[in-house]
């Protein structure tokens, strides 16, 4: 029963996030001038991840027999580990999509709202890529590795508590939507076939289910270490939120835009709380 729930949840998070991203793009949402833009989606995802880590995964881990010192050490090591994965470009999969285009005001805008291209970090602050890139398969490889890891994290949450698993799956889905929108942008620029781009990203998303199955058997054999797996899952969520999503929100905004950003951040936390309540009642 738990394995079936893990498979369904990981498929919903992995493939469902891709289809939702494609739907939002088809409806014209997620653009700069829309009421729901990339900044809002990133705020929503950051709120969901932080709430899941601090309000659900970590409390569950600390309710076990594991010592607080060991769990905090695991959390620290986990954050450093995901930082190293990020440096290896294995985890930072959704933010390399800065296909910049000049706006009518002479400023440079980047797809997926990533104005600070990673080229800036490599000493090319004024260089932006125009036209198609050949990095489609690199994007899919990074996606697949990340989705596999997400699947293991979701499985860890399910093995601790089905309610916790549902919350983790919803949080993963929330933060994958803006990422997959960027992935689709890249693949559509490297290939004119939009349907094939959707299929490729969906297949990468399906790897989440593979990670879920592997996680079920791996973590299931190591039940005594489950609190530590939850701490690692928390470190992943916290790292993605604080090092990946929130820095993209640190821009000079009007008071109205700032309030909207905060509102969407809180909305992500509220959604996780509501999902938790509904799962608990069920």
- Reported residue count of the chain is 282
Q: What's the confidence (pLDDT) of residue 30?
A: 53
Range of the domain at 144: 2-27+37-100+108-121+131-281
The answer to the question of residue 185 being in a domain is yes
pLDDT in tens, 194-222: 788 888 889 989 999 999 999 999 988 88
Exposed, middle or buried, 141 (CB in 10 Å: 0-12/13-18/19+)?
A: middle
Residue-level pLDDT at 123: 35
Does any domain span residue 63?
Answer: yes
Residue 32 in any domain: the answer is: no
Mean pLDDT of 223-239: 90
Closest CA to 264 of 147, 150, 178, 162: 178
Please give the tally of structural domains in the chain: 1
Kindly report the pTM of this predicted structure.
Answer: 0.73
What are the two backbone dihedrals, phi and then psi, of residue 109, each rounded to the nearest 5 degrees? -110, 145
Residue 126 is assigned to a structural domain of this protein: no
What is the DSSP code string of 47-62? Answer: HHHHHHIIIIIHHHHH
Instruction: Please tell me the predicted confidence (pLDDT) of residue 136.
Output: 65
Note the pLDDT tens digit of each residue in 48-64: 999 999 999 999 999 88
In the beta sheet, which residues pair with residue 101?
A: 109
Q: Which residues are paired to 108 by β-bridges?
A: 102
* pLDDT value, residue 92: 54
Residue 273 in any domain: the answer is yes
Domain-embedded: residue 218? yes
pLDDT at 139: 72
What is the average per-residue pLDDT within 232-245?
88
Mean per-residue pLDDT of the chain: 78
pLDDT at 94 > cutoff 80: no
Instruction: Tell me the average pLDDT across 25-34.
Output: 63
Per-residue pLDDT tens digits for 106-158: 333 333 443 333 333 333 333 333 334 445 677 777 778 889 989 999 999 99
Is 248 inside any structural domain? Answer: yes
């Amino acid at each position: 029963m738990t394995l079936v729930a893990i498979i369904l949840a990981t498929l919903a998070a992995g493939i469902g996030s891709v289809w939702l991203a494609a739907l939002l793009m088809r409806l014209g949402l997620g653009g700069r001038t829309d009421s729901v833009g990339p900044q809002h989606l990133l705020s929503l995802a950051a709120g969901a991840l932080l709430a899941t880590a601090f309000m659900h995964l970590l409390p569950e881990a600390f309710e076990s027999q594991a010592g607080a010192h060991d769990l905090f050490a695991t959390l620290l090591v986990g954050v450093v580990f995901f930082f190293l994965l990020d440096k290896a470009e294995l985890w930072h999969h959704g933010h390399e999509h800065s296909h910049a285009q000049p706006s009518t005001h002479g400023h440079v805008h980047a797809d997926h709202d990533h104005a600070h291209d990673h080229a800036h970090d490599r000493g090319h602050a004024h260089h932006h890529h125009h036209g198609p890139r050949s990095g489609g398969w690199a994007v899919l490889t990074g996606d697949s590795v990340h989705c596999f890891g997400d699947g293991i994290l979701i499985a860890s949450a399910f093995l601790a508590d089905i309610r916790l698993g549902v919350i983790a799956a919803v949080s993963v889905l929330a933060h994958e939507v803006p990422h997959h929108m960027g992935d689709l942008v890249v693949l559509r620029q490297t290939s004119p076939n939009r349907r094939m781009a959707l299929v490729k990203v969906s297949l990468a998303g399906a790897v989440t289910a593979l990670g879920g199955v592997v996680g079920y058997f791996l973590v299931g054999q190591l039940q005594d270490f489950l609190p530590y797996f939850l701490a690692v899952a928390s470190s992943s969520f916290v790292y993605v939120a604080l090092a990946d999503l929130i820095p993209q929100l640190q821009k000079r905004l009007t008071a109205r835009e700032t309030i909207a950003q905060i509102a969407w951040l809180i909305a992500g936390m509220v959604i996780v709380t509501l999902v938790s309540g509904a799962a608990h009642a069920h």
